[in-house]
Structure formats: structure tokens, C-alpha cells
Amino acid sequence: MYEKLENLRKLPEEKKFEYIWRIGNDIDNGILPHWRNISETINKELGVPEEEYLSESAYRKMYQSAKKFYDEGVFNLETNSEELTQLKEAITENKKTLAKIRTENLEINKVYREMGRSELLADRVIEAAQLLAKEQPFISPSPLNIIQDNKKTACLCFGDTHYGVEFTVKGLYGEVINSYSPEIFEDRMWKLLEKIKEIIVKEQLTTLNVYSLGDELDGILRMGQLMKLRYGIVESTIKYSEFICLWLNELSKYVNIRYQMTTGNHTQLRMLNGKKGTFEDENMSIIIKWFIKERMKDNPNFELIDNETNMIFDEVSGYNLLGIHGEVKNMESALKDFTQIYNIKINYLIAGHMHHQKEQEVGKNTKVINIGSIIGLDNYSLSLGKSANASATVLIFEENQGKSIEYSINLN
């Protein structure tokens, strides 16, 4: 419909009857609907005063009269006339427009096919989760006694795992500054688990909010990244999903888990060479979430909370917390924008994406917090002149105090 409306617009160089002739040709070729459905628009495009609007019949008769002369070859008797030249140009433009619409229709159909494939991919990943659950079932932990302490809330925040990528960053003397691989990712996550177990005991936690802040995978954003991947996108998705379920299942032996996650920019599918944001809902993070939900559904100590905004939203000891991946220009402005958009006070805006830790106070018990990354320093960070340890963070919130304790866990 959008392309059809574009064809109704009068071109700046078009004269009145050239325009009517082109519209008539488009109707004959099925590009535009019948005269009666577009006569009002034609009047407006020609600048006809509303009290002098012509009916669809008037425009149709103008075109049909001219078409009789054209079909009889009358215009061919004056091959050098200016009118004939203009007419031929109008016909040529009409053919170009028709060809353009046909091409665009082909592209639209390709988009629909790609969207269908993404839905098929989701089905296949869920089937894989169901098969793994059947062939390699987790040993479900015994239910933990839930003592809900609203006065104190603990939140584990981690993100930017970029699973599947492999690299080594060296320093000025050839020393290794940081290495990363699927095995190193797993080692860091098990190290993180041991540190969390210590915090659970120290803080006497029975419930832990686990926030995954996006970019679980690597290699979807830019074609050049594919060369650094050990696995393909689908295999990376399944391997990461299965590992994180195994990790969460192990953690759930020690604490009840409320799990939430955001979508990231690196996991966004850019089909048909689409630009950023073209297919916002086509994101592998969503598929990972579906996998986790299916794989962990029988664990009594695990709850997946799914927010339809694909962000994290929680109430922590009386304060509102919003978690995003963090691809925003200014975190402070973003906090104010989200507060206005959703008409609710946001006390804490938490994000990943930047691969380093940062905290900024915006007001009383109101802060923006950037969380470090599991991947740590990489070549992209170096190109920006940024560096930071691989890390995750546990935040403790208390009633009437806000964020009272922070555990920054170094994973290098």
C-alpha cells in the first residue's frame, strides 16, 4: 500500500495531463486502485480547490479519451512534437516505476521468507532443549526453603559473554593481556559461581536475582567477526544455552534464582544485510531465553521472569530497577527518558555493553550503573582506548538505604 501511495504523488516537473495520463496507466497496470478510490487524492495533488473537486468519472473520461487517440496511433503522426516526447517519457517512467515495485515486492517476499526461517530456528532450538532434557536430564535440586526478605535484595549482574569467539591480546613485551575462548568463558563462569557461593553464605541469602545483560553470543553483528568464531551461530546458541542452564542448575542448589535477561545488539539478526534495528525482535537472545525456559522448567528453585519489553524490570527492597543492554549515548539521559516513557520512577538503571564498570549518582537513591563484561579486554576495546578486567557484580539493596553493598568479582 505504501508504494501505491508513493505513485499517487505528482512529480514536480509533471504537468496536469501528464500526471492524469500516468495515473491512468498505473490503474490499467494494476499498480493503483480504481479511480473512485483515489479521485480525492488526485484533486489534492493537482491543487484543485475543495469546492471545485472533480469526480472520478471526470478524470477517468479524460484519460479514456486520450487513450483512444493513443491506441489509434494518432500521436505517431507527429513524431517530433513536444507532446509526444513528453508522453514517451511518461510511459518510460511508468515502466521504471512498475519494475521498481516488482523488485521491491521480491525483496519483501525475501524478508517474509527470512522471518519464517527465524521462527523455524526457534522451533529447532526448543526441540533441541527438549531432546537434551530427555537424553541428559539435570538432577533437579531439592526445593529450598524460601524466606522472602523484602528488606534486603541481592542481584547478580553479568553480561557480554560473547560466546564462541576466540582471540589473544598481547602487550608491548609480547605478554598475554587477555585470552578468550569457549573454555575460558566456562572457567570464568565456574570461578564466578564459587565467589557467589561465598557471598550467599556471608549475606545469608535465600534468593538471588540473576540479571543477564545481553550479548551472549558473538559474530552476528559484523561479517568480519565470523572468522573468529569456533562454531556457527546456531551451534553457538545451543552450546551457550546448554552451558548456562547447567550453570544455573548448579547455582540453584544453594539459592533460589529469579532469572531475567535483556536482548543485546550482537545477538540481533541482520537479515538481507539489514541495518541496525531493522529486525529488532529477531534476536538470538530471545531464542536463548526460550531454551532456558524449556530446559529449566522442572527446577523448583528456578523462576524465569519474561518482560515483554525484552528489558529487565524489578522491584528491589522498595526501589525500581531497570536493566538494559546499554547501547545508549548517555545513561543519565536514558534513565530520565525511561522514567518519562513508562511513567514510573526508575531508581537504578543497570547496563552492560561498555565492557567496564562505572557508577554515577543521579539523585537520592538514584544511580546509573555499568557492569563489566565476562569477555574482558578485546581488540575492539583497544581500538576505543578502553581496558578493564573481566568481571561480574553482585549488588545488595536494602530498604530505605538503596544500594548498600557492591561485590565486584574479578574473573581474570
Tens of pLDDT, residues 304-362: 999 989 899 999 999 999 999 988 889 999 999 999 999 999 999 999 988 889 999 99
pLDDT at 34: 84
DSSP-derived letter for residue 227 is G
pLDDT at 104: 53
Q: Pick from 267, 281, 277, 351: which is nearest to 310 by CA?
A: 281
Phi, psi at 383, each rounded to 5°: -65, -25
Which residues lie across from 302 on neighbouring strands?
A: 257
Phi, psi at 355, each rounded to 5°: 65, 15
Percent of the chain with pLDDT over 70: 76
135 pLDDT above the threshold of 90: no
Which set of grid coordinates corresponds to residue 352? 552492560
Counting beta carbons within 10 angstroms of the beta carbon of residue 138, is it exposed (0 to 12), middle (13 to 18) or buried (19 or more)?
middle
Helix or strand run (H / E) with residue 317: none
Which amino acid is present at 203?
A: E
- In the structure, what pLDDT confidence band is assigned to residue 150 with cuts at 50, 70 and 90? low
289, 350 in Cβ contact below 8 A?
A: no
**At a CB cut-off of 8 Å and minimum separation 6, what does 202 contact?**
none
Counting beta carbons within 10 angstroms of the beta carbon of residue 142, is it exposed (0 to 12), middle (13 to 18) or buried (19 or more)?
exposed
What gap in Å lies between CA 108 and CA 112, rounded to an integer? 6
- In the structure, what pLDDT confidence band is assigned to residue 275 with cuts at 50, 70 and 90? very low
3-7, 24-28, 74-78, 198-202: least confidently modelled range = 74-78
What gap in Å lies between CA 316 and CA 331, rounded to an integer? 20
DSSP-derived letter for residue 22 is H
Q: Pick from 49, 51, 52, 45: which is nearest to 16 by CA?
A: 45
Handedness of CA 317, 318, 324, 328 (dihedral sign): negative
Could you report the per-residue pLDDT of 213-250, keeping only the tens digit for each? Answer: 988 887 654 444 444 555 777 788 888 999 999 999 99
- In the structure, what pLDDT confidence band is assigned to residue 143 with cuts at 50, 70 and 90? confident
**How much is the mean pLDDT over the chain?**
81
154-168, 244-258, 324-338, 370-384: least confidently modelled range = 370-384
